Amino acid sequence: MPGYGETAGAALASHEGVDKVAFTGSHLTGQKIIQASAGNLKRVSLELGGKSPDIVFADADLDTATAGAGMAVFANSGQICSAGTRLFVERRIYDEFTGRVAEFGKGLQVGNGIDPKTQIGPLVSEQQLERVTSYLSIGKNEGARPLSGGSRITEGALAQGYFVPPTVFADVRDDMRIAQEEIFGPVLSAIPFNDIDEVVERANATPFGLGSGVWTRDVNKAHRLAKGIRAGSVWVNCYQAMDPAMPFGGYKMSGYGRESGLQHLEEYLNVKAVWIKTA
């Protein structure tokens, strides 16, 4: 059924002949689908937005973590729901590590998406460009300090396109909008932390719970964070690893239900009990 969300999507969500809806998109649209599904109590699975924490300890392999934390946000120009957009860095390496990630981002090739040399392509639309650039202004106005990027590309061959370079904001506080609201662009908010208990609490201080990352050589820290973070995926010493055998989905406002794994199949199945008396 082709069409736009407000027409075709709304019809599917409310139609009594549709028993199941699977949706990927914003939490606001997800809420509308849930409301529309009440007509026939259809089953709904939702993979929605995120503001995922990516946590780097001082004992991590910083070379690996630099590229990993950078691409956790910059890949696909940040247009990934589980992007690790809140980078929590242990305070004693905060300046060094955020500087490393900023330099890494500066070294990525921004360009035409069909050019094989391009590593960072354009945003998907003018509307999304306006959204992302508005958050760049919001971050600066709130007191965040851009270490790299920070504005739309306005010179050269890319000036007419929807290009925003990899951006790293330092001096970010938890209550800033750039640290709380999903931007869906190549914008990273770097936040210092002191210890495990503190960072678990702050990592969970978001309405979302889709992805998360932990970078450490200490397996005990890894397990404590994996247990404590309220998110559907926890990547340790990597980010955005995917496999069809592993379930993917969120907690809280990031939705419910799972894609991939056995749990994905169960979303489309009902249990039926059949009793047969033979005598």
47 has catalytic annotation:
yes
**Distances in whole angstroms, Cα of residue 94 to Cα of each of 98, 101, 127, 150, 172:** 6, 11, 34, 19, 12
Task: Measure the CA angle with vertex 139, ends 135 and 143; round to 5°.
Answer: 165
Q: Are 156 and 148 in contact (CB under 8 A)?
A: no
What span, in angstroms and rounded, lies between the C-alpha atoms of 240 and 242?
6
Query: What CA–CA distance (Å, rounded) separates 116 from 98?
Result: 28
Catalytic residue among 47, 90, 182, 259: 47
Task: Write phi, then psi, for 32 (nearest 5 degrees).
Answer: -65, -35
Active site residue 238: no
Active site residue: 81, 90, 182, 259, which one? 81
Lookup result for tokens 């990027």:
149
Question: Which residues are known to be catalytic?
Answer: 47, 81
